[in-house]
Amino acid sequence: GPGGGAPLENANPLIYRRSGERPVTAQEEDDDLPDAIDDREIFDLIRSINDPEHPLTLEELNVVEQVRVKVNDAESTVAVEFTPTIPHCSMATLIGLSIKVKLIRSLPERFKLDVHITPGTHASEHAVNKQLADKERVAAALENSHLLEVVNQCLSART
Amino acid sequence: CLENTDPRMRGRGIQLLSQVLLQCYSLLQEKEVLHLVLFYENRLQDHHLVIPSVLQGLRALSMCEVLSPGLAVSVLKAIFQEVHVQSLLQLDRHTVYSIIINFMGSREEELKGLGADFTFGFIQMMDGEKDPRNLLVAFQIVRDLIAKNYTLGPFVEELFEVTSCYFPIDFTPPPNDPHGIQREDLILSLRAVLASTPQFAEFLLPLLIEKMDSDLQSAKLDSLQTLTACCAIYGQKELQEFLPSLWSSLRREVFQTASEKVEAECLAALHALSACLSRSVLSSDTEDLLDSFLSSILQDCRHHLCEPDMKLVWPSAKLLQAAAGASLRAYYRVTRIVLPLLLEQYTKHPQSSQRRTILEMLLGFLELQQKWGLVEEDESTLLSLRASVCSVVFSALTDPSVQLQLIGIRALTVLGSLQGFLSHSDLELVADHLIRLTLHEDSQSSEAAMEAAASLAPIYPKVFSGHMVPRLEEELQSVSSSEREEESSHDHCSLRQRCLQALAAVSTHTSIVKETVPVLLQHLRKLQKGSEAGTIQGMVSVCQSLHRVALQCQQDDDGCWYYHQTVVPCLLAMAVQAAMQESAHPLLGKALIEEEVLTAMVPVISAATTHLSPELAAQSVSHVVPLFLDGEVSFLPQNSFPCSFQPFEDGDCFDTQRRLVALLMAFVCSLPCKVAIPQQERLLRELLALSCSCNCPFTATTAAKCFAGLVNKHPAGQQLDEILQLAVNRMEPSLAEGPRRMQALTLLLWVTKALVLRYHPLSSHLTDKLLGLLSDVELGPVAADGFSLLMADSPDVLHKGCHADVRIMFRQRFFTTNVPKLVQGFHGAGPDVKANYLKGLSHVLNHLPKPVLVTELPTLLSLLLEALSCSDCVVQLSTLSCLQPLLLEAPQIMSLHVDTLVTKFLSLTSSPTMAVRIAALRCAHALTSLPATVLLPYKARVIRALAKPLDDKKRLVRKEAVAARGEW
């Protein structure tokens, strides 16, 4: 986070309210009934990821929204669109990578993941999407210990 | 020896002398002390090997009461002159500080005679001190120098330098530190020095401003807390020069920080600054700095309040509230600008989410006003804006957004608490809104509206009893009458439920209770006469509401007696009536005496009884006990019954009457201790007989509980011993064989509990009996579960609230005596009953306070690990819930078993029981608190194994799996 006192580029961003914890239903407490993996469950996995710059979550900055999460449990596919706060945001790849890593760690292996920028919201949309879709590059990025540390920081719980 | 030429020998001689003096300094004569002091002062010039022993001797002498005037100064001068303190060892430096402390305690005036020389001498002495133990003492000396007004002379800045060089404290105690000095001790001790005098202000404030900008969060926090401490003694003179920098640092931190702690400390510091400026006495020619300080805050923050979607809106509001909350003057100054601004912004922003933010900020300022109450003064902006504030709040109450409604309700509660703010017509409107929200809106709003009514009702009892109660009564009647019209019965139920809850909620004033209790009882009677579906649920709801009212009445003697007198006989009469009707016409089922409804009545009667004064309770017990023993019904409100009431008589036709023992239990077990129970021995015998002979489990259990509740409070002595002997004599043969083993076991459990709680000697005999039953194939599992009953708090009898005799350490005591027996029993038991011992053990452990558990762990761990392999899922579950906190609190011990733990936890993540899977995953998660080196060999395996529960069919399991795997 910002420690020394260097001002942030966008110090007063628009913020959005966090959705509360998902209420536990009677069905969820019933041992016998299966609960399908749904959009909200995926959204809950990624909404609390910290923004690399602001002391805010991706949900509070509206970078991720539940309507931009699509899951098909039967076909094992997940698609997430994310929207950088500004079209030139240099952190877009890092944010995409954090979302992807969180999903890789949290979802069963059968799922095919697609994480990309909401169309028309970023200057280098195509390039970023290509990087995020490239399995080898994602794997290589995660070998980089510095990058991994930054990603883990985004994924850690706020203190 | 003292004159030996070898300094080591001289040193030993002096050491001996000093040791002697330390033992007997109080016996010395004035002249002897004089001689010794002169001798020791002289020895200070001796070889450095001798000095430590010399200082010990001087320390002994510094404690002498008969020290002649002048000697203390002379000793100090000699030390200042002859000893270079910082080249001594830690212990010897400590001795020097102790000498000074001793003199400061006993020779204050004399030392002050030294003037600033003393201060200077000490500064030189402590300069460079590094040891935390010595620093604590040195800081104490500086604090005393300042607090006791020693002359600092020209050395203020030097004294500041020699202490502030340690700020911010950066000290981590070494592991296994035997001295136990914590970082926090040093921080507080240094802070007490730095914040002890305004004379340091000109040096300290720039330092604090600098450290607030530090990269270290601990330095930031320490600076902020020190600033807050300084504000308690500073005036505006000290702050003046630094206010702009202080404000800009605080603003920067609050606007940028991600840490709630830093934010909270910044706000506290701002509050303290504002309070300090508010407090300062102004001379006629000085400017009021509070005004200009608040102006700059307003200037920097107000425009952010106009952007309710942006990040800085809340930090700005919090800064303004922190400053405004410091004094009434500051509050007026800030609200004069902010309140009109917020009201205007509310109108300008039509979206509910924006309005919610704005109203929530407004609420913050209203809550500050609560602190001072409403003062009728021209300056109060709030009063001048009354109409617009009310209209904004009322508009929020009718907004479709629940979130906005909720803030509106809270604002309404605050406005109502400001005496005189709301007019009579406003208040009626308030009541209307609350009724509407309670009955027809979202469940969150409804709940919030009830709570608002609950907190406003005692302030305006007439408005609520005259306005809200009749409306709720009407609504309740219309719900029950329209029920026949086949409308959605679910809606009716929930509407009725809300009416009942709201009636209970507003019963926060005796005058309202006298209106609501008859309505509730009337509704219960109506339900009893009707025969619709849902009657039982309705009756239970009435009882829940009656219970809440009872709790709210307890503190008020008048209300408590009114409630008891009105409700208890009425419930008894209705129950007796229903029981008799059923005896006469067994086919006419009566909901009122269903177990569920009787169970719901128990807490009502209990809460109506626990807080009675002993005199009134005695009056009541003289009616209730004869009702049950002799069928004496004359005190009941409707007392013409078709037959007699004989709950303790034999015969099948009295089955339903016997169930009412639940109501007797609720009453008689809740009485204050001093109240004598008439015919107690006869009552106990009847209860004992009923508990052993009755075939209905509900009645038998209730009779056993009632017996146990009375036995627990029975004064010790022959009578008690006799009745207990009687109980044992009845229990033992029934336990051994026959058709009523289960009843006997229930009685055994409850009586054991009653006696364990009060440390009665017979309890160990009964517990052994219970332990013996664990190996019984038929009763073993029930006996094992009984350990949970023994250890847990019981909701209706045998707890503190109903005046039971409960010793605080009973769980530890039970643990110490019985766990070894359980362990031994386990090892000796056959394979078919081993699980019973594990189950009993895990119940005992589960209820033990965690610190006790952690210390007892090593002896039990192997057994717990074995319990994880037990196939009983109750045992698995409770073992996992024992182990989880231990992983967090005793990682060292647990590390030794990491291999077993990993294997067992992972295998339990595929248990067929969801609760076990969840608990196993939580334990797998908790494993991550073990040291990294211990975990590393298992990392890949655990991460692979945790992939499977990510695809669990239950969402709650997946959630835990995600958390655990993420952490690994």
Q: What is the pLDDT of residues B178-231, one digit of tens each?
A: 777 888 999 999 999 999 999 999 999 999 999 999 888 899 999 999 999 999
A117 to chain B, minimum CA–CA distance in Å? 23
B311/A14 CB distance under 8 A = yes
Domain end among B678, B710, B737: B678
User: What end-to-end distance do the CA atoms of chain A give, in Å?
Assistant: 12
Looking at the predicted structure, is the pLDDT value of residue B58 above 60? Answer: yes
Are residues B871 and B838 part of one domain? no
Among B647, B678, B709, identify where a domain stops. Answer: B678
Q: Are residues B692 and B547 in the same domain?
A: no
Which of B307, B950, B954 has the CB atom closest to A107's CB atom? Answer: B950
Does residue B886 form part of some domain? yes
Question: Which of B627, B654, B678 is the C-terminal boundary of a domain?
Answer: B678
Same domain, B807 and B894: no
Sheet of A112-117: strand order equals A69-72, A77-82, A112-117
Is a pLDDT exceeding 50 seen at residue A2? Answer: no
Q: Establish if B651 belongs to a structural domain.
A: yes
pLDDT tens per residue across span B844-882: 888 888 777 777 777 788 888 888 887 777 788 888 887
What total of structural domains would you count in chain B?
3
* Closest chain A residue to B957, measured at CA: A28
Residues 200-219 of B with CB under 8 A from A: 213, 215
Determine the Cα–Cα distance for residues B121 and B587; give it in Å rounded to an integer. 100
- Using a CB-CB cut-off of 8 Å, the residues of chain A touching B311 are 11-15, 54, 56
Chain B residue closest in CA terms to A16: B309
Domain A39-155 = CATH 3.40.50.620 = no
Three-class secondary structure of residue A72 per DSSP = strand
Q: Is A106 in contact with B956 (Cβ distance < 8 A)?
A: no
pLDDT given at position B405: 94
Domain boundaries, chain A: 39-155
Same domain, B594 and B738: no
**Do residue A106 and residue B255 have CB atoms under 8 angstroms apart?**
no
The amino acid at residue B194 is L
Contact A119/B at CB under 8 A: no
Mean pLDDT across A144-158: 81
pLDDT for the residue B391? 93
Domain identity same for B736 and B838: yes
The verdict on A34 touching B (C-beta cutoff 8 Å) is yes
Q: How many CA atoms within 13 Å lie on the side-chain side of B326?
A: 29
Per-residue pLDDT of B355-372, as tens digits, reads 999 999 999 999 998 887
Instruction: Say if residues B394 and B359 touch (Cβ distance below 8 Å).
Output: no
H or E stretch covering A69? strand A69-72
A24 touches chain B (CB under 8 A): yes
Question: B730 and B792: one domain?
Answer: yes
- Inspect the interface and report whether the beta carbons of A8 and B257 lie closer than 8 Å: no
A-chain residues near B256 (CB < 8 A): 2, 5, 7-8, 11, 55
Contact B45, B6 (CB under 8 A): no
Residue B594 has what pLDDT?
A: 85
Nearest to B312 among A12, A17, A45 (CB): A12
Q: Please, what's the largest Cα pairwise distance for chain A?
A: 55
Q: What is the pLDDT of residues A72-123, one digit of tens each?
A: 988 999 999 998 888 777 788 888 999 999 998 899 989 999 999 998 888 8
pLDDT exceeds cutoff 70 at B121: yes
Q: Is the pLDDT of residue B486 over 60?
A: no
Q: Is the same domain home to B701 and B837?
A: yes
What domain range includes position B555? 507-678
For residue B138, tell me if it sits in a domain.
no
Q: What is the pLDDT of residues B544-589, one digit of tens each?
A: 999 999 999 988 889 999 999 999 999 999 998 888 876 555 545 5
Dist CA B403 CA B394 (whole Å):
14
Q: Provide the mean pLDDT of chain B.
A: 89
Chain A / chain B CB contacts < 8 angstroms: 75
Same domain? For B691 and B674 the reply is no
Do B668 and B808 lie in one domain? The reply is no
Averaged pLDDT, B369-395: 82
Residues B802 and B909 in one domain: no
Return phi, psi of residue B729, to 5°.
-65, -35
Residue B96's closest CA among B71, B117, B76?
B76
Same domain, B653 and B778: no
Q: What stretches of chain A show up as alpha helix (H) in DSSP?
A: 26-29, 39-46, 92-106, 125-133, 135-143, 145-155
Q: Does the pLDDT at position A3 exceed 60?
A: no
The pLDDT value given to residue A10: 66
Model confidence at B770, pLDDT cuts 50, 70, 90, reads: very high
Residue B768 counted as domain residue: yes
Cis peptide before B168 (omega within 30 of 0): yes
- Whether residue B591 is found in the same domain as residue B549: yes
